[in-house]
Amino acid sequence: MLKPLSTDPQATWKQRFRAPMLGWSQIAHQAPQRGLVLSDLSGSYQLHAWDVLSGKLRQISNEPQGAFVGRLSGDGRYVYYLHDDDGDEVGHFVRVPFEGGEPQNLTPDLPPYLADPFINPTGRMLGFLVGKSTGIDLYIVPLGSDDSIGSVQHVYHNPIPGLHGRKLVALSSSGTTAVMISQPHNPFMYGQLLSIDLASGDVMDTLQEEQGGYVSMGDYSPVVGDERLWATLHHGDTQQHLVWNPRSGERFPLVLDTLDGAFAPCSWSPDGRSLLLKQDQQDGTRFAIYTLADHSVQVLDSLLGTYWCSYYGNAHEIYTHWGMIQDGAVLGPEIMALDTSQGQQRRTLLALEQVPAGRPWRSITFPSSDGQEIQAWLIIPDGEGPYPTIIDLHGGPHTQRTVDPAPDLQMWVDHGFAVCSVNYRGSTGFGQAFQDQVLGNPGYWEVEDIVAALHWLVNAGITNPQAVLLTGWSYGGYLTLLALGRYPKLWVAGMAGIAIADWALLYEDTHEALRPTRLLGGTPSERPEQYRISSPVTYAEQVKAPILVIQGRNDYGCPPRQIERYVARLQALGKWIEIDWFDSGHGSLVVEEKIAQYERMLTFAYATLTGDHTR
């Protein structure tokens, strides 16, 4: 049963959004008392200088639309990030002293670019990739110990377009070698890594999975002169982790046969002699320490809760973000220090304000239309069902919904909705075949899995079939619009944020590095029918449920023209569709703006369920 709509400024659901979140952190290799933390502590996601000894944070970026990606130099003296004017993630790299100060433009002579900054372990070199229609270019900027900034140098051109993602470049501590991605395997994975001599621009070595799989790169050793980094070869659900020296060509596989389950490297020890390994489990995490000299492995104790952003803090401690949901109560988020002998929590390094408690989560599984088992997370309100229900769809597609404070989900539960968040096909964490099944035909299997979730919920007596709403952001917004058109009789409303409605128009308007060629199996001219059947606009005439769209005016990932055309098409057909625009890029990083967007979704949902609406 619906509860009264709560729009009070101090409503519990709003306080959950205002409770500060921890994104990621890092420490300076040569000055471990200095760190960098991403948090929305100040009201928007910004970079914060972290005094590790005292646990104090100080905001260091002041981007109007928020900052999400940054790097701390190895000596702890400077923070590097991308400055853009309107949240579209296109701009120039700047640096700010750790103590604070005015941002200094590092590439004033380059046109604005879409890129992430990468700093070598000593902090003496910045590297980044810039995508173009003709391929992708590797640039470096030398950084002097005397605070000087060298000229931007173009080092290498890779004539393969469409390379994008977060982990693109690794730079050796000596500043002589870079490893970069090449040969896309699918939209977010790569079939080959290239090692580039930064003095000559020549390719020294390549690393690839020879049986049709893909390869991912890790980090270089923090030890000056050590030219090794870790990397992983992926073939199906099999992973071979190794240490690679691109200068010598040597490759040393990690021997993990004795371990139970899949562990992956996540950090070098400060002396470069060991690797920290991590294994994520359904109910917790295990760490292990791999000693390279003798290939011995020390498995640490199992830990309950969610651990992320884990790395060596010093020779005897692991620093890691930690949080836990216990009977609906949120513990954390915190940055903890674990001992390297057993892995037990030793001390709290940084703790933020607690998130108000919500309702507990539980995992469910159900068969899709072809028998494939699908996992989802279910949260139900107090009281007796069947309940009005929100089916939540994560973005990606190659991510997954995991247990976290989730103010976006608990908001609905506070108002009497059951919430089911579906890890549809394409999600990570369920095997490579599961993840890759959406490639070439995006939307089809994902929507089948969403419909299967609805049938399971109704058959279990949880959901009122006359009161089911879809919602999601980015790829989840795309699936919301697609499901509303393909199965129009099943839904009472849909709310899509920063969504995709027309893949062909998106291809025309998005940045070269973000074009969906791999996801759709080719370009619009090569696969026009696939672009058509995968686009929600194709099913505009079939839509029956009211739709709310929330879209960013400056979004390169989901550009505005394609959603404008979709809205205009539905309006011309006399459909109930509303659109709200915000002046930023791919999602808001400002807390109060996000609260306003979710309040808009709440009021829209109530209007569709109660009929209290005038078009």
Q: Give the residue from 313, 347, 381 where a domain finishes.
A: 347
Q: Could you tell me the pLDDT band of residue 243, with boundaries at 50, 70 and 90? A: very high
Rounded to whole angstroms, the Cα distance separating 365 from 356 reads: 28
pLDDT, tens digit (0-9, with 9 covering 90-100), for 453-507: 999 999 999 999 999 999 999 999 999 999 999 999 999 999 999 899 999 999 9
Q: Could you tell me the pLDDT band of residue 235, with boundaries at 50, 70 and 90? A: confident
Evaluate whether residue 251 is within a structural domain.
Answer: no
Q: Clarify whether residues 507 and 477 are in a common domain.
A: yes
Rounded to whole angstroms, the Cα distance separating 258 from 260 reads: 7
pLDDT, tens digit (0-9, with 9 covering 90-100), for 421-447: 999 999 988 887 898 899 899 999 999
Lowest mean pLDDT among 152-166, 242-256, 410-424: 152-166
- Judge whether residue 83 has pLDDT over 60: yes
Q: Could you tell me the pLDDT band of residue 608, with boundaries at 50, 70 and 90? A: very high
* % of the chain with per-residue pLDDT over 90: 62
Evaluate whether residue 162 is within a structural domain.
Answer: no
Count: domains in the chain? 2
Evaluate whether residue 477 is within a structural domain.
Answer: yes
Mean residue pLDDT across the chain: 89
Residue 272, pLDDT score: 95
Q: Could you tell me the pLDDT band of residue 615, with boundaries at 50, 70 and 90? A: very low
Residue 303, pLDDT score: 86
Rounded to whole angstroms, the Cα distance separating 610 from 17 reads: 26
Q: Give the residue from 296, 323, 347 where a domain finishes.
A: 347
Q: Clarify whether residues 331 and 376 are in a common domain.
A: no
Q: Clarify whether residues 501 and 592 are in a common domain.
A: yes
Q: Clarify whether residues 305 and 370 are in a common domain.
A: no
Radius of gyration of the chain (CA): 24
Q: Clarify whether residues 438 and 579 are in a common domain.
A: yes
Evaluate whether residue 34 is within a structural domain.
Answer: no
Say if CB 544 and CB 573 are below 8 A apart: no
- Judge whether residue 513 has pLDDT over 80: no
Q: Could you tell me the pLDDT band of residue 165, with boundaries at 50, 70 and 90? A: very low
Residue 128, pLDDT score: 92
Mean pLDDT of 334-363: 88
Residue 182, pLDDT score: 83
Beta bridge partners of 430: none
Q: Clarify whether residues 270 and 409 are in a common domain.
A: no
- Judge whether residue 175 has pLDDT over 80: yes
Q: Could you tell me the pLDDT band of residue 167, with boundaries at 50, 70 and 90? A: low
Question: What domain range is 503 assigned to?
Answer: 363-610
More confident residue, 563 or 429: 563
Residue 66, pLDDT score: 82
Residue 179, pLDDT score: 94
Evaluate whether residue 446 is within a structural domain.
Answer: yes
Residue 208, pLDDT score: 87
* Cα dihedral: 310, 312, 313, 317 (round 10): 100
Rounded to whole angstroms, the Cα distance separating 175 from 345 reads: 36
Tokens at 72, concatenated = 């701390």
Lowest mean pLDDT among 123-137, 259-273, 356-370, 504-518: 504-518
Q: Could you tell me the pLDDT band of residue 42, with boundaries at 50, 70 and 90? A: confident
Say if CB 97 and CB 77 are below 8 A apart: yes
More confident residue, 325 or 262: 262
- Judge whether residue 283 has pLDDT over 80: no
Phi/psi of residue 69, nearest 5 degrees:
-120, 130
Give CA separation, 390 vs 425, 427, 540, in Å: 19, 19, 22
Evaluate whether residue 395 is within a structural domain.
Answer: yes
pLDDT, tens digit (0-9, with 9 covering 90-100), for 183-209: 765 555 778 899 999 999 999 999 987
Q: Clarify whether residues 381 and 442 are in a common domain.
A: yes
Q: Clarify whether residues 342 and 381 are in a common domain.
A: no
pLDDT, tens digit (0-9, with 9 covering 90-100), for 59-81: 999 988 788 889 999 999 999 99
- Judge whether residue 403 has pLDDT over 90: no
More confident residue, 1 or 465: 465
Rounded to whole angstroms, the Cα distance separating 23 from 209 reads: 32
CATH number of the domain at 394, please.
Answer: 3.40.50.1820
Evaluate whether residue 500 is within a structural domain.
Answer: yes
Tokens at 400, concatenated = 């997954």
Q: How many residues does the chain have?
A: 615
Q: Clarify whether residues 416 and 484 are in a common domain.
A: yes
Mean pLDDT of 503-519: 83
Q: Give the residue from 289, 314, 347 where a domain finishes.
A: 347
Evaluate whether residue 157 is within a structural domain.
Answer: no
Residue type at 504?
A
Q: Clarify whether residues 422 and 496 are in a common domain.
A: yes
Residue 166, pLDDT score: 46
Q: Clarify whether residues 303 and 437 are in a common domain.
A: no
Say if CB 343 and CB 287 are below 8 A apart: yes
Q: Clarify whether residues 391 and 518 are in a common domain.
A: yes
Mean pLDDT of 280-299: 88
